[in-house]
Chain A
Amino acid sequence: MRRAILAALALLAASGVSPLAADTPLPAQPLAYTQLADPAQEARAKALMETLRCLVCQGQSIADSDASMAGDMRALVRQRIAAGESPAAIRRWLISRYGDYVSYDPPLSGATWPLYLAPILLLLAGIWIARASFRKRRR
């Protein structure tokens, strides 16, 4: 297997064919990797970027991802924050395009209520179990 890969690489080098690059030839947008000049605005943008999902990497936030699409989303967030838009409005705009999936801060809805209720119910169950076992011990 390894020899086959080496042979393929040698062939590729000999033929002068460069591997296909499936990425944009355009440079990243300035605001993808540059912070906003105003620290307060940058802090707001950063907080929002950490709770927006990178659509092509899915397990990462756009603040964490180096994908070119994540860079474009960071630029979009920073441009809109700089223009005075609120983080909540930007999140709403993205949700109206991609659904709740794009946000790491899911709203309370039919599908997400167990997420919010389960910790409370588990805590109550824990208190109930603890109370029962303490009572038993006292007796």
Chain B
Amino acid sequence: MSTAASEQRTGGSRLIWVPLAGFVLLFAIVAIGLWRPADRTVRSALVGKPMPGIALAPVVAGKPGIEAGRFAKGQARLVNIFASWCIPCAAEAPQLLRLKAMGVPIDAVAVKDTPAAVAAFLARYGDPYDAIGGDPDSAVQFALGSSGVPETFLVDGNGRIVEQHVGDIRAEEVDGLAAKVRGLR
């Protein structure tokens, strides 16, 4: 009887550490979450896959839309998802102009925009685009797995999506992006 009681006591003394261990574990999980917050960027599942067949009507006069089969013509290009009402897109404009000056072909998808607003945007911030297709109901955004503006897709000469850049292209990212496009040619 006394041995059984002492066994129970030692078992109990070991069990006493369980709540503390649980607390330490929980604390560690919360601390990791605080110091290294999870990346909440929604990325397209189409990276590495062929560009969906999209055909978009032109938005502004004198600039073609995006015709079907445009992305499988042997030339790597950037597809910039932008909108005139998007402020980071305006911040991104100088970087796109520099990319164009470096010889990188850029097409655009104007999301939920009006021709007049796009024309005003291009007049104010410059026009780096070879073609601009309109996406009035976000259908192309969904087809591409894009979740906001601006986003930029790097498409190789066979029409395969190589990379998705979420958010505006920063000045320090221009050279790397241009080198990637050149490498795909």
A22 neighbours in B (Cβ, 8 Å): 85-87
A24–chain B nearest beta-carbon distance, Å: 4
Q: Mark A53-76, 1 if CB is under 8 A from B, else 0.
A: 001101000000000110011011
The segment from B12-20, B60-68, B142-150 found at the interface with A is: B142-150
Q: Is B137 an interface residue (CB 8 A)?
A: yes
How long is the Cα–Cα vector from A68 to B141 in the complex, in angstroms? 13
Cβ-defined contact, A20 with B138, below 8 A = no
Q: Which of B64-119 contact A (CB under 8 A)?
A: 83, 85-87, 111-114, 117
Chain B interface, DSSP helix/strand/loop, else mixed: loop
- Tell me whether A39 is interfacial, beta carbon within 8 Å: no
Smallest distance from the beta carbon of B181 to chain A beta carbons, Å? 24
Contact B85 A55 (CB under 8 A): no
User: Does B45 lie within 8 Å of A25, measured CB to CB?
Assistant: no
Counting contact residues on chain B (CB < 8 A from A), the size range is 20 to 34
Shortest CB–CB separation between residue B29 and chain A, in angstroms? 14
Determine if A97 and B42 form an interchain contact, defined as CB atoms under 8 angstroms apart.
no
Report the bound CA distance from A26 to B140 in whole Å.
16
Partner of A29, one of B114, B137, B141: B137
Contact of B112 among A21, A56, A68, A73 (CB under 8 A): A68
> Which residues in B have their C-beta under 8 angstroms from that of A26?
112-114, 136
Task: Type the 1/0 row for A1-37, where 1 means its CB is closer than 8 Å to any CB of B.
Answer: 0000000000000000000111111100100000000
Please tell me the size bucket of the interface on A: 20 to 34
Is A95 touching B137 in the complex (CB atoms < 8 A)? Answer: no
Give Cα A95–Cα B42 distance, bound, in whole angstroms. Answer: 12
A96 within 8 A of B: yes
Q: A55-B147, A68-B112, A97-B145 are in contact. Are A21 and B44 (CB under 8 A)?
A: no
Q: Is the pair A69, B143 in contact by a Cβ cutoff of 8 Å?
A: no
Tell yes or no: B46 within 8 A of A by CB: yes
CA distance A123 to B162 in the complex (A): 46
9 nearest A-B pairs in the assembled complex, by CB-CB distance: A97-B145, A24-B112, A72-B138, A55-B147, A99-B45, A26-B112, A55-B42, A22-B87, A98-B145
Chain A residues engaging chain B, CB cutoff 8 angstroms: 20-26, 29, 55-56, 58, 68-69, 72-73, 75-76, 94-99, 101-102
The 18 sampled A-B contact pairs (Cβ below 8 Å) are A21-B85, A22-B86, A24-B111, A25-B113, A25-B117, A26-B136, A55-B147, A68-B112, A69-B138, A72-B142, A73-B138, A76-B138, A76-B139, A96-B46, A97-B44, A98-B42, A98-B45, A98-B145
